[in-house]
């Protein structure tokens, strides 16, 4: 069997699934993406990406398009108090900017790299069966049940992954991290320019990133003991909590359509024992869903897709290649997930003593601490095909 004879099914048409499809197609695989919604689109607001994710995008051949829909943001190293005092200020000679974009814009960039026939919408995965020779996936469509066979299945279908539940049925449920998050995007040009910042209150964190078309993405995270708590008017609730904080926060909220504000509970996953079973692999949130406090969730999904494609590029033994993917990705992504779970235990603390100590230490030594922390997260480079060839496959 040559590489171009190999077929892959990918469950999930989000950022990780599409990135995996792009990488595998570049490696010569025939790919089909099964997407549950009837329309291929990304819902949400904005997010930011660190240099490790940009390297992954370059390795997948979409770096130029990625940068074209992104805007540099200084929020990773600009920290303030609700009164506006600076705990840390971005310094160009020391700090690397993040790149922020709207989820829909990045999703469109990835969709445009794939032929239309690659993605099957309204296809909900309902079952997975393996044999030594391949994988059979059952899925439901509006026309009734269907099935498809392939040499490989990639579960990129999110924190509530049907693939993970089918292959690892004893995996614990996602864990509520006692965090509630609101997200919004301003009207174009209403508040501009904004260089990006984060504001640390006691038990609350607000952040803002510039987006293309002179929009601004903002978020507010708070401590919330129980999941499912909702408010009649989300924008009014955000305004009640942070409307008195420093400029331009009130202006950002005033420039946001009330009916566009999103509100979500924050869950993550306990570490999985493996990301691989035979010819099945999971990536992104299906493998290591994490809190957003390190801005690494989507970054890690892009890393996953890049490594998966590199390991499978010249592989003749698919389970062995997937085992290498697991060995390469699980330690790093689970380390990042642990850091993302630990961060809000301090930075989102409601304890006044903890908050006072955190802000004081950040003000005194924030730049150096931030540099050491980001080095662990950002110091990653994608593997090359040559590395795999040298392994003897």
CA distance 210 to 147: 43
Which positions ≥6 away from 35 have C-beta within 8 Å? 12, 13, 17, 119, 120, 121, 122, 123
- Upstream peptide bond of 233 is cis (omega within 30 degrees of 0): no
Cα distance between residue 217 and residue 311, in whole Å: 36
Nearest-10 Cα torsion for 12, 13, 18, 20: 10
Cβ burial of 226 (10 Å; 0-12, 13-18, 19+) is exposed
Within 10 Å of residue 206's Cβ, how many Cβ atoms?
Answer: 25
As assigned by CATH, the class of the 3-175+268-389 domain is alpha beta
pLDDT value, residue 367: 63
pLDDT of residue 374: 79
- Are the CB atoms for 14 and 297 separated by under 8 Å? no
46-to-101, 209, 279, 347 alpha-carbon distances in Å: 6, 8, 34, 21
Query: Which of 353, 362, 366 lies closest to 202, judged by CA?
Result: 353
Nearest in space to 97 (alpha carbons), one of 82, 115, 75, 81? 75
Q: Return the C-alpha torsion angle 324, 330, 332, 338, nearest 10.
A: -170
pTM confidence score: 0.94
CB-based burial, 152-191: b 16+ in 10 Å, e otherwise: bbbbbbbbebbbbbbbbeeeeebebbbbbbbbbbbeeeeb
Q: Is beta strand 119-120 parallel, antiparallel or unpaired with respect to 30-34?
A: parallel
How far is CA 25 from each of CA 22, 123, 283, rounded to the nearest angstrom? 5, 21, 17
Per the CB < 8 A criterion, the answer to whether 307 and 328 are in contact is: yes
**Domain range summary for the chain, segments of one domain joined by +:** 3-175+268-389
- At 370 the pLDDT is 65
- Residue by residue, pLDDT tens for the chain (393 residues) are 455 589 999 999 999 999 999 999 999 999 999 999 988 776 789 999 999 999 999 999 999 999 999 999 999 999 999 999 999 999 988 888 999 999 999 999 999 999 999 999 999 999 999 999 999 999 999 999 999 999 999 999 999 999 999 999 999 999 999 999 999 999 999 999 999 999 999 999 999 999 999 999 999 999 999 999 999 999 999 999 999 999 999 999 999 999 999 999 999 999 999 999 999 999 999 999 999 999 999 999 999 999 999 999 989 999 999 999 999 999 999 999 999 999 999 999 999 999 999 999 888 876 666 666 777 889 999 997 545 444 444
Structure tokens belonging to residue 81:
């108090």
CA angle 7, 12, 43 (to 5 degrees): 150
């Amino acid at each position: 069997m040559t590489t171009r004879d190999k077929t892959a099914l990918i469950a999930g048409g989000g950022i990780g699934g599409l990135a995996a499809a792009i990488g595998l197609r570049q490696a010569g695989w025939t790919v089909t993406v099964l997407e549950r919604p009837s329309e291929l689109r990304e819902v949400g607001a904005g997010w930011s990406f660190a240099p490790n994710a940009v390297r992954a995008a370059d390795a997948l051949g979409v770096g130029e398009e990625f940068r074209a829909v992104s805007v540099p943001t200084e929020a990773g190293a600009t920290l303030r108090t609700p009164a506006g005092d600076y705990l840390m200020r971005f310094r160009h000679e020391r700090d690397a900017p993040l790149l922020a974009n709207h989820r829909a814009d990045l999703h469109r960039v990835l969709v445009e790299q794939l032929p239309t026939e690659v993605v099957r919408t309204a296809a909900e995965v309902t079952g997975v069966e393996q044999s030594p020779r391949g994988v059979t996936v059952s899925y439901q469509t509006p026309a009734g049940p269907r099935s498809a066979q392939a040499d490989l299945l990639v579960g990129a279908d999110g924190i509530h992954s049907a693939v993970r539940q089918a292959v690892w049925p004893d995996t614990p449920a996602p864990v509520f991290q006692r965090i509630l998050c609101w997200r919004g995007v301003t009207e174009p040009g209403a508040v501009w320019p904004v260089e990006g910042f984060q504001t640390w209150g006691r038990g609350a964190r607000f952040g803002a990133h510039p987006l293309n078309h002179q929009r601004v993405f903002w978020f507010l995270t708070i401590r919330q003991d129980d999941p499912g708590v909702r408010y009649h008017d989300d924008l009014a609730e955000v305004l009640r909590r942070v409307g008195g904080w420093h400029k331009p926060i009130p202006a950002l909220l005033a420039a946001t359509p009330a009916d566009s504000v999103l509100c979500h509970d924050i869950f993550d996953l306990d570490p999985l024992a493996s990301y691989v079973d035979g010819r099945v692999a999971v990536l992104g949130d299906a493998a290591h869903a994490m809190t957003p406090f390190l801005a690494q969730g989507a970054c890690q999904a892009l890393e996953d897709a890049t490594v998966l494609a590199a390991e499978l590029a010249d592989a003749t033994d698919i389970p062995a290649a997937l085992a290498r993917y697991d060995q390469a990705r699980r330690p790093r992504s689970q380390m990042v997930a642990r850091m993302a779970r630990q961060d809000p235990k301090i930075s989102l603390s409601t304890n006044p003593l903890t908050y006072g100590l955190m802000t004081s230490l950040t003000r005194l030594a924030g730049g150096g601490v931030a540099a050491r922390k980001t080095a662990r997260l950002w110091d990653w480079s994608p593997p090359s095909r040559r590395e795999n060839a040298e392994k003897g496959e």
